[in-house]
Structure 1
Amino acid sequence: MSDQEDYRRAKREAYEVETQPPATLGRDEFLAWRSPREVLSGPASLDNQTWHWLVRTHLSAFIANERFNGPSSYESGPMWCFDRFGMSQTTLSDGRIVYIGGEHEDHYDPDFYIYNDVIVIDPDGSIHIRGYSRDQFAATDFHTATMVGNSLLIIGCLGYPSDRVAGVTPVYRLSLDTWCIERMTTDGQSPGWLHGHAAELSEDGDSVVVTGGSCWLGERCSMIENIDSWSLNISSGHWTRLTSLDWQQWSMHRADRKFNRLWELRRALWAHENPSCGISDDWKFEDAPNFAELARLYRIDGCEPPADGEECGEYYLVMDGLTVRFTESMFSVDVLVKGRLSTDRLEVLQARTLATLAKLEGIEWEIEPLSVLASDGAD
């Protein structure tokens, strides 16, 4: 056995030891606290051995459930865990770390769940878990938590589809004295149902400035990127739009609204170009992957191929001096022009891209225009 294999085995063994449940945690207590728990009013203490163990180890719901041979999540519902996406983490001046909300897994997973709790870890490792009713604090993920005095201002959220309200930006205030959470009343022109953004306190300390992220526009609409900056006055709760960039955005998707196969195409191309790696392309469609047409995608004027972006599925080109970004997902191709193309050139870009996508998929694609973010709406 090689030194590298010895090292990997030692790491696996150490991980198994570190993540073992405490000897005092029995299966009955595990089952009693296996699932997320709703409370009637908060802040309610939800401290227990099971959840403390999961906070310390960051085990996924699936692995932790297996440790106790727990019931299937398909039958018993999702299991509680601390392995989350979109959870905010704030370190206080005294060394305590405050974690808020977050989600585990994607919507199709049986352990998918969006949390509305607050977890505090003291410098000595002590753990405090507090729960809230959904009326006090909705399921919240991909938000921001900004320190304002002795409180955290929680802004934005993706949340469950049934909780979303187009044009509204949820804002909560968490007291670091009482751990009470209250919804903040706001007015003015807000960024809308925003998530995945950034927020920071202004230099004068009077407001929180919000940038980036994506906004949900409605049930059958694509997300729109937030390209502007917004300010929330802490005292009055008034939103102000700080910028109004005149950029073009739109989304393209299959006419039948089914998943596209761009990811499978690019994986098949990579496997084709790197046969020595021995990785299967996992191509599961009847027709062969059209690599020639894929090479034409986003090459509008016969110029150089588009450059790869920093994120997976992002591609850039420069057209008439303007940067154009294409972002591929399983649902759509989202396009952002940093500026405004002329009407004729915009039509060329859209028509040629749609035609290439249709050849790749064997089905028509269509454009969904994206309206101006939040237009003139108010909370």
Structure 2
Amino acid sequence: MKSKITAPEAVCAQFEEWRAPRRGKSNPENQTNDVWRWLVDNPVWPLRAHQAVGAPQKNYPTWCFSRYGQSETCLPNGSVVYIGGEHEDSYDPDFYIYNDVVVVRPDTSVEIFGYPTDVFPPTDFHSATLVDQSIYIIGGLRYPEDRDYRNTLVYRLDLTDFSIRLTPTQGNPPCWLYKHKAMFDPDAGKIICTEGVSTHQQTQMDVENLTTWEFALQTRSCVEKDTKPYRRWLLVRNDGSCNTLWQISVIAKASRSLRQSSLAEKYLRNFEERGHTVDPELYFSRFRPPIPHVKIDRNADQHTVRSHRILVDGVVVRYVENCWQIVVTVEGDLSSEKLELLKRHGLDTYSRLEGARYKCLIL
């Protein structure tokens, strides 16, 4: 059971004034206050914060330090700099993507800086790379309306005054990179970005990034250094709509459980109303192509993007599913015959699972 927390009197007195998140008015605006400092020290969810101050939660969103996609950068002096991040997702009334900078000093003191959105837009799942007295903030998922799928933005946080500036890039930057890794090479004066997710130029779909990108600080140029020579294709519905794999997964898992699932029953009725019967065993066999293969334990998956993996002739074949597509990646050389078998098996399996036609897009 979670222990009950109680907010100090100063927090209770200022809670209504500082309960909601707000954007900065200058570059930067020091927004440090007792409420947010307390929430940094106690990163509870909004409901528990309201309970701690004895106030009902009636307005949304509430400022929160329990976030996904927030970067954490340790400075040589022991301070830690946290940038942006999001609380929950769009279905949650407290969903919010932040564009703030939170500094926690070695003595546990806290400073919080806000920024206008035209100076620094809300960001999550970006990278933050320390270079001397600056942190370079590269990419990010962001709100849909803040995304430019043709470019990955770079910002520089100046640690001497905590101002943030857009750093225009030259060359060939990646298309909308996020959830990636970044590392500074001091000898070359470059930030090297790998892994993560990027937008494929031709299909405009988000896929795993297979390219190593280099950002040269002196020239501000971004170049493609290397791309893994993998085979990759997408399996998508012919009608362009999102798939129903999540609903099918609920039905399939319920079929192997002794407990009754009202949600699974609801989804079963939905499929039956449109004349389709879900095959749970087909769902569990979707990563078993009709060629010799070995399943790889998901716990051994070290990729940024969670995947299902099998081994075919010593070559890793990875499947990544989301609500729009299934991405199949072959990490090496397989015969054209086995590649075609993998494609046909995927098309047939997902078409039968959903009762909807699928097509294959080669990347």
Determine the structure 2 residue equivalent to 1:22. Answer: 8
Residue 190 (structure 2) pairs with residue 207 (structure 1): yes
CA separation of 1:219 and 1:83: change in aligned 2, threshold 3 A? farther
Alignment match of 2:330 (pick from 327, 331, 337)? 337
Residue 339 (structure 2) pairs with residue 353 (structure 1): no
Determine the structure 1 residue equivalent to 2:307. Answer: 314
Listed as ranges, the matches of 1:239-318 within 5 Å are 239-273=222-256, 275=258, 278=259, 280=261, 282-283=263-264, 284-286=267-269, 287=272, 289-304=278-293, 306-310=295-299, 314-318=307-311
Deviates more, 1:244-253 or 1:40-49: 244-253
Alignment match of 1:34 (pick from 6, 9, 19)? 19
1:230–1:241 CA contact under 8 A, matched in 2: yes
Deviates more, 1:301-310 or 1:225-234: 301-310
SS at match of 1:24: helix
Structure 2: which amino acid aligns with 1:175?
D
CA separation of 1:181 and 1:85: change in aligned 2, threshold 3 A? same
CA separation of 1:64 and 1:367: change in aligned 2, threshold 3 A? farther
Structure 1: which amino acid aligns with 2:282?
E
SS at match of 1:354: helix
SS at match of 1:349: helix
What TM-score do you get using the length of structure 1 for normalisation? 0.83
How far is 1:124 from its partner? 1.3
> In structure 2, what is the Cα distance between the partners aligned to 1:349 and 1:314?
16
How far is 1:305 from its partner? 6.4
> In structure 2, what is the Cα distance between the partners aligned to 1:138 and 1:267?
37
2:252–2:281 CA contact under 8 A, matched in 1: no
CA separation of 1:53 and 1:295: change in aligned 2, threshold 3 A? closer
How far is 1:160 from its partner? 1.0
SS at match of 2:9: coil
Structure 1: which amino acid aligns with 2:326?
V
Listed as ranges, the matches of 1:115-194 within 5 Å are 115-194=98-177
How far is 1:112 from its partner? 1.1
Determine the structure 2 residue equivalent to 1:374. Answer: none
SS at match of 2:116: coil
Where structure 1 has 5 or more consecutive residues not aligned to the other structure, the ranges are 1-7, 371-379
Cα deviation 1:21-73 (Å, max 9, x = unaligned): 1122235x21211111122322101111211111111011233245443453x
How far is 1:129 from its partner? 0.4
Percent identity over the alignment? Answer: 34
Where structure 2 has 5 or more consecutive residues not aligned to the other structure, the ranges are none
> In structure 1, what is the Cα distance between the partners aligned to 2:359 and 2:48?
42
> In structure 2, what is the Cα distance between the partners aligned to 1:78 and 1:337?
43
CA separation of 1:62 and 1:340: change in aligned 2, threshold 3 A? farther
Listed as ranges, the matches of 1:85-124 within 5 Å are 85-124=68-107
How far is 1:151 from its partner? 1.0
Cα deviation 1:202-234 (Å, max 9, x = unaligned): 151511111110013489842111112111111
1:33–1:50 CA contact under 8 A, matched in 2: yes
Deviates more, 1:331-340 or 1:260-269: 260-269
1:313–1:329 CA contact under 8 A, matched in 2: no
CA separation of 1:142 and 1:81: change in aligned 2, threshold 3 A? same
How far is 1:331 from its partner? 3.3
How far is 1:120 from its partner? 0.4
Deviates more, 1:130-139 or 1:252-261: 252-261
Cα deviation 1:301-341 (Å, max 9, x = unaligned): 24356434346962222345532100122333221111355
1:89–1:99 CA contact under 8 A, matched in 2: yes
Determine the structure 2 residue equivalent to 1:61. Answer: 46
2:27–2:163 CA contact under 8 A, matched in 1: yes
> In structure 1, what is the Cα distance between the partners aligned to 2:74 and 2:347?
47
> In structure 1, what is the Cα distance between the partners aligned to 2:89 and 2:51?
19
Determine the structure 1 residue equivalent to 2:28. Answer: 43
2:294–2:311 CA contact under 8 A, matched in 1: no
